[in-house]
Structure 1
Amino acid sequence: MFSVMRGKNRIIIMGIVLSVLGSVAGCGASSAEKPVDISDIAPFVQGNSEEVGYEVPIQTPNILIDQNGFRPEDDKVAVFRGKELPETFFVYDADKKKPVYEGKLVKAGYDSDLSENTAIGYFTDVKEEGRYYLYADIVGESYAFTISEDVLEEVFTEACKKFYVNRCGIALSEEYAGENAHSACHTALAHLQENMQTELDVTGGWHMNEMADRDAVLGCKIAEDFLLAFEMNGAAFSDDMGIPESGNAIPDILDEVKYEADWLLKMQDPKTGGVYGAAVTDSSKGGELFTYPVYVTPISMEATIGFASTMAKFSYIYQQYDPGYATTCLKAADRAWTCYFNNQKSGDSTAAFKAAAQLFRATGSERYEDVLNLYFSKNDFEKLFDEDEDVFLGSVTYLSTSQNVDVNRCGVLMKMLMKKSEKIASDASQSSYLVTKVGEEDFIKMLYDMRCLSVTDHIIYNHEYTTIIENHVHYLMGMNPEAMNYVTEGTERTFIDDEEKMGIMNDPQKDALFIFMLGVLRQ
């Protein structure tokens, strides 16, 4: 399941000397992690044979690189930092320990926010597949990285498969899930939290955290991001990702969304059309995680309007694959919409705007268009477009519809989209790390920014935007001030080395947005 995998950087004092003497940085590198002076720890060792916990500071390299690597034809870049920086750097073959390329540092300057001097090094001309690391006088070596046609493919597949291995309610075989294989979980009837005598079948869906909870609001957001990613970059999503549905002539990303949609339909109350908020595991009586009893939280208006939006969008896209199922989803979306407006007003939540856009696109009905026009007429609509994700996504849907729309309104929305994207591009170009926000540990704004650029890049192709998206992928996989790979676990310094960090793939919402980014680069 989606879980937080944490590591500790603690060692026992009796082993410090050996650890220090053996400290290295990269595959074949020797100076990325600088040795600690033994005299600094000698006072703690002398005359004391007890095992005492001691935390050694992590020494990270001053050449920051995507630790997974690059495809041969990709733009290749690294960030260099230090009080003094040389003018040139070298790319070394990690196996032969020989330089294969010499490059010059550019964009040297002082980053006042980070209080450090930085520069950029490009080595795009290095195209031969293999293992490499960077070296520069004064600052030393980088971690190792790979140049390979498959380097992005492997990360993309792993990110997508996270959702399959977190499916609830079915057995996962080793053939598809590998070491994550397990028998069917949470198959018993759940109980309604408000009335524990009421039993519900809510099997299915995706586990969202280490407690194997399933959340309707979050599931809807993730499903919509997948559907938009498919709509923007359909060629990136194949039918051979290695899940049971592979080969059924439906892109696997849609198979994955359908698995969640099947569960969401079970979470809708057939009487009112309202949607229950979550299926929560109850660990109070002990036992095994996968056999914990489950209770269902009350109907939530947030879940209900989110459901209306997601099921309408899924209906629109899935119509070409299974018209009957698509119609079922659209009817369910309309029932949820009716339930929401029996209890709320359109101005109570901007999620109503997004749902109206999806339902208008699917049906052309004026009752949905009326809600859209209500929002379009707001004096602060442009501010909402910039700051509110529901308004942004609803606007993108309006731009994508084949229904009769206000052409002038579409022109205004396009100007807003371009303005927002240019601001993102400008922020990235001015950053010493080539990204919109350095040091933001939860990464959510960065990922939202890249989704915006991805949408704009689809409508009006811009190579600069594609490069910015690539640089954000590099940042998340090691080209950041922590020199940490926040995505995968198999490189030299990753999130599992720090108990305070969490990997992107272990957070389902961030993983979905990361997949969105990679979809652009796989075109």
Structure 2
Amino acid sequence: MSKEVIRLNQMGYRPQDRKIATFRCDGEYLIIDSKTMETVYKGTASKIFLNDKNSGEDVYVFDFSDFTQEGSYRLEVAHLCRSAIFTISKHPYRDVNRGMLKALYYQRCGMELTPEYAGVFAHKICHHDRALDLQTHTFREVSGGWHDAGDYGRYVNAGINAVAMLDMAYELTPHSLNISFDVPNDSANLPDVLNEIKYEMDFFLKLTNPDGGVNHKVTTWSFGGAVMPENDVGELVICECSMEATATFTAGALMTARVFEPFDPQYAQTLREAAFKAFDWVEKHPDYPGFKNPKNLFTGEYGDTDLRDEVLWATVAMYRETGNDEYAQRAIRIIEANPTLDLVNLTCCCVGGFSAYEVFSMENPNQQLYDLYKAAFIKRCDEFISIASQEGFGVPLEYKDYTWGSNVTLLYRAVALILGYKYFGNKTYEEVALRSLGYIFGENPTGFSYVTGFGAFPYNYPHHRPSDSDGVEQAIPGLVSGGPNVFKNDTFLEKFLAPDTPPAKCFIDDAASYSGNEITVYWNTAAVFLAAWFDD
């Protein structure tokens, strides 16, 4: 099977970009025009990784960057094996990005997804009953937002991460994201991507409280079974306000307000006012503990034991919004008092990289604050480049990184590398980020495209309740998989993977593998960021 021998970016390549494929055998590699069947390019391995430690393979790297002719092609080796068709074109990531964006629409909660927009994936309205507020013991209307992942929970810090990634992408690559992806949009001038952001932010606004605090999440008491969302009818509960939710809401709302200002100034002001109240809550609760599930609640916790990075992001966001240097001084004090604080990561529970972006992208930032972030970013990006240079598939992942959500670890590192390239000019950062996106799109040891419905060999059985229960063989398209997990944190992987399976192959395309094959909205948006960057 060609995906077992030849691995490539199944979405294709731009003419000007570096183009890499990997083979499991040595030889003369040919590029075959898929229409004329003529050989248009020949080459050999530029690098060889014998017994590559994360794939367990001999990896032969074929660099055909100097072949720039647009068209559709196959790779061939030794007249024995041909790859699937791939393209060289100006916009190879446009369609998959539309798909990954529309996947957010498929995650919408509290509304009917109609056949007009959802096709065979349509379903009835879900989770629209009033929810019990565990803090006030009253019932509130909190419909809307996105289902976070394979379950039907809605979590603020996870959702804000997804929104902030889209905001950041829109600020950097608006041309790539001013595209239609066939979703309901009643606004005359709001791009589809901002309309989708607004659907999530409107839900978050419902979770703000008079004192500024933001409730942590809305879920049922426990995870439901593999049922369609309208059949997940357990009692909805609203958890107490948390620092994780309130601090990240502060920052995310201010970033979103900035993006919305040219389109809807009134909505932007609503977000700013809510963010200022939320930051007032943050300041009044300096020792607030990390969130823990209350008794008898058994859904995803999304708590954090270290809240310094969330408070830092909120503080820097206030600096960016107001220009008041006192906030910059506070941020400097937080960083200098905590030398191990991660200023680069972009996960939902480690958000230092978002605060770095706020500083890098503003005009005339406080120089001391800028220098602190710059030093941290360059150091970490250089580490990523060093790791990637030793890996057969050229990505910044080590053995220990192939854990639950390894694909998003890679995606976040690739986003950080793009920011490093954007603001500090190291072209190698961008090249490794592109190779990382290619890994997600099929140039990886499994040969799968880790995006449902896209690529020659897409995975198709995510741990995702709608895809598992809608009676449609094809998964909902555009969903990014969590990817290989060497620690096998579910019984399915533990049972069916051999103990010595190499880390990058610890993946099974099956809905039962929640620790290897679940999806989340914030994994999708990281991939959207990268696809938009390389489509600009």
State the TM-score, normalized to the length of structure 2: 0.77
Deviation at 1:470, TM superposition (A): 2.0
Q: Does 1:521 align with 2:482?
A: no
Deviations 1:307-340 (A, max 9, x none): 1121122223322322222222112112112222
Higher alpha-carbon deviation: 133-142 or 359-368: 133-142
- Alpha-carbon distance between aligned partners in 2 of 1:503 and 1:518, rounded to the nearest angstrom: 22
Deviation at 1:515, TM superposition (A): 0.7
- Alpha-carbon distance between aligned partners in 2 of 1:241 and 1:233, rounded to the nearest angstrom: 16
- Report the CA distance shift for 1:258/1:379 in structure 2 as closer, same or farther (over 3 A): closer
Deviation at 1:282, TM superposition (A): 5.6
- Report the CA distance shift for 1:166/1:136 in structure 2 as closer, same or farther (over 3 A): same
Q: Check conservation: 2:332, 2:369, Cα contact below 8 A.
A: no
Q: 1:119 pairs with 47, 54, 60, which one?
A: 60
Q: Does 1:279 align with 2:218?
A: yes
- The answer for the alignment partner of 1:401 in structure 2 is 362
- Report the CA distance shift for 1:170/1:151 in structure 2 as closer, same or farther (over 3 A): same
- The answer for the alignment partner of 1:352 in structure 2 is 311
Q: 1:496 pairs with 450, 460, 466, which one?
A: 460
Structure with the higher fraction of residues in strand conformation = 1
SS in 1 for 2:342: helix
- Alpha-carbon distance between aligned partners in 1 of 2:193 and 2:425, rounded to the nearest angstrom: 24
Structure 2 spans left out of the alignment, 5+ residues: 289-305, 462-508
State the one-letter code of the partner of 1:422.
D
SS in 2 for 1:427: helix
- Report the CA distance shift for 1:78/1:298 in structure 2 as closer, same or farther (over 3 A): same
State the one-letter code of the partner of 2:453.
E
- The answer for the alignment partner of 1:64 in structure 2 is 7
- Alpha-carbon distance between aligned partners in 2 of 1:256 and 1:415, rounded to the nearest angstrom: 35
- Alpha-carbon distance between aligned partners in 1 of 2:277 and 2:192, rounded to the nearest angstrom: 28
Higher alpha-carbon deviation: 237-246 or 301-310: 237-246
State the one-letter code of the partner of 2:216.
G
Deviation at 1:150, TM superposition (A): 5.0
- Alpha-carbon distance between aligned partners in 2 of 1:147 and 1:443, rounded to the nearest angstrom: 25
Q: Check conservation: 1:71, 1:152, Cα contact below 8 A.
A: no
SS in 1 for 2:4: coil
SS in 2 for 1:384: coil
Q: Check conservation: 2:24, 2:57, Cα contact below 8 A.
A: yes
- Report the CA distance shift for 1:342/1:411 in structure 2 as closer, same or farther (over 3 A): closer
- Report the CA distance shift for 1:501/1:494 in structure 2 as closer, same or farther (over 3 A): farther
Deviation at 1:222, TM superposition (A): 1.1
SS in 1 for 2:330: helix
State the one-letter code of the partner of 2:169.
A
- Alpha-carbon distance between aligned partners in 1 of 2:196 and 2:203, rounded to the nearest angstrom: 11
Q: Check conservation: 1:76, 1:123, Cα contact below 8 A.
A: yes
State the one-letter code of the partner of 2:383.
K
Q: Check conservation: 1:239, 1:248, Cα contact below 8 A.
A: no
Higher alpha-carbon deviation: 239-248 or 251-260: 239-248
Q: Check conservation: 1:315, 1:326, Cα contact below 8 A.
A: yes
Q: Check conservation: 2:150, 2:520, Cα contact below 8 A.
A: no
- Report the CA distance shift for 1:395/1:438 in structure 2 as closer, same or farther (over 3 A): closer
Q: Does 1:187 align with 2:200?
A: no
- Alpha-carbon distance between aligned partners in 2 of 1:285 and 1:237, rounded to the nearest angstrom: 35
- The answer for the alignment partner of 1:384 in structure 2 is 342
Higher alpha-carbon deviation: 227-236 or 383-392: 383-392
SS in 2 for 1:496: coil
SS in 1 for 2:353: helix
- The answer for the alignment partner of 2:393 in structure 1 is 433
- Alpha-carbon distance between aligned partners in 1 of 2:154 and 2:251, rounded to the nearest angstrom: 18
- Alpha-carbon distance between aligned partners in 2 of 1:349 and 1:394, rounded to the nearest angstrom: 12
What is the number of equivalent residue pairs in this alignment? 458
Q: 1:240 pairs with 146, 169, 180, which one?
A: 180
- The answer for the alignment partner of 2:373 in structure 1 is 413
Deviations 1:111-157 (A, max 9, x none): 45244322211234163423x33221297443443445553111110
- Report the CA distance shift for 1:356/1:185 in structure 2 as closer, same or farther (over 3 A): same
CA RMSD of aligned residues (A): 3.0
- Report the CA distance shift for 1:493/1:98 in structure 2 as closer, same or farther (over 3 A): same
Deviation at 1:254, TM superposition (A): 2.1
- Report the CA distance shift for 1:128/1:247 in structure 2 as closer, same or farther (over 3 A): farther
Deviation at 1:74, TM superposition (A): 4.1
SS in 1 for 2:262: coil
SS in 2 for 1:446: helix
Q: Check conservation: 1:496, 1:502, Cα contact below 8 A.
A: no
- The answer for the alignment partner of 1:445 in structure 2 is 409
Q: Does 1:204 align with 2:147?
A: no
Q: Check conservation: 2:387, 2:398, Cα contact below 8 A.
A: no
- Report the CA distance shift for 1:284/1:249 in structure 2 as closer, same or farther (over 3 A): closer
- Alpha-carbon distance between aligned partners in 1 of 2:515 and 2:396, rounded to the nearest angstrom: 20
Q: Check conservation: 2:345, 2:413, Cα contact below 8 A.
A: no
- The answer for the alignment partner of 1:512 in structure 2 is 525
Greater radius of gyration (CA): 1
- Alpha-carbon distance between aligned partners in 1 of 2:78 and 2:200, rounded to the nearest angstrom: 53
- The answer for the alignment partner of 2:431 in structure 1 is 467
Q: 2:76 pairs with 135, 147, 150, which one?
A: 135
- The answer for the alignment partner of 1:257 in structure 2 is 197
- Alpha-carbon distance between aligned partners in 1 of 2:60 and 2:398, rounded to the nearest angstrom: 15
Q: Does 1:175 align with 2:116?
A: yes
- Alpha-carbon distance between aligned partners in 2 of 1:181 and 1:415, rounded to the nearest angstrom: 49
Deviation at 1:89, TM superposition (A): 1.0
Deviation at 1:419, TM superposition (A): 3.0
- The answer for the alignment partner of 2:296 in structure 1 is none
Q: Check conservation: 2:442, 2:449, Cα contact below 8 A.
A: yes
Q: Check conservation: 1:128, 1:147, Cα contact below 8 A.
A: yes
Q: Does 1:458 align with 2:422?
A: yes
SS in 1 for 2:388: helix
- Report the CA distance shift for 1:247/1:73 in structure 2 as closer, same or farther (over 3 A): farther
Deviations 1:204-236 (A, max 9, x none): 111113332211111111111111122222222
User: What does 1:58-97 align with in structure 2 at a 5 Å threshold?
Assistant: 61-82=4-25, 85-86=26-27, 88-94=28-34
- Alpha-carbon distance between aligned partners in 1 of 2:46 and 2:425, rounded to the nearest angstrom: 27
SS in 2 for 1:279: strand
Q: Does 1:484 align with 2:448?
A: yes
Deviation at 1:247, TM superposition (A): 7.0
Deviation at 1:172, TM superposition (A): 2.8
Higher alpha-carbon deviation: 244-253 or 213-222: 244-253
- Alpha-carbon distance between aligned partners in 1 of 2:426 and 2:376, rounded to the nearest angstrom: 17
Deviation at 1:203, TM superposition (A): 1.2
SS in 1 for 2:46: strand
SS in 1 for 2:58: strand
Q: Check conservation: 2:22, 2:59, Cα contact below 8 A.
A: yes
- Report the CA distance shift for 1:101/1:503 in structure 2 as closer, same or farther (over 3 A): farther
Deviation at 1:473, TM superposition (A): 1.6
State the TM-score, normalized to the length of structure 1: 0.79
- Alpha-carbon distance between aligned partners in 2 of 1:510 and 1:493, rounded to the nearest angstrom: 20
Deviations 1:345-394 (A, max 9, x none): 4995321011000011112345533421322432616x633568433321
- The answer for the alignment partner of 1:223 in structure 2 is 163
Deviations 1:176-199 (A, max 9, x none): 333333333222222223565x11
Q: 2:264 pairs with 318, 322, 332, which one?
A: 322
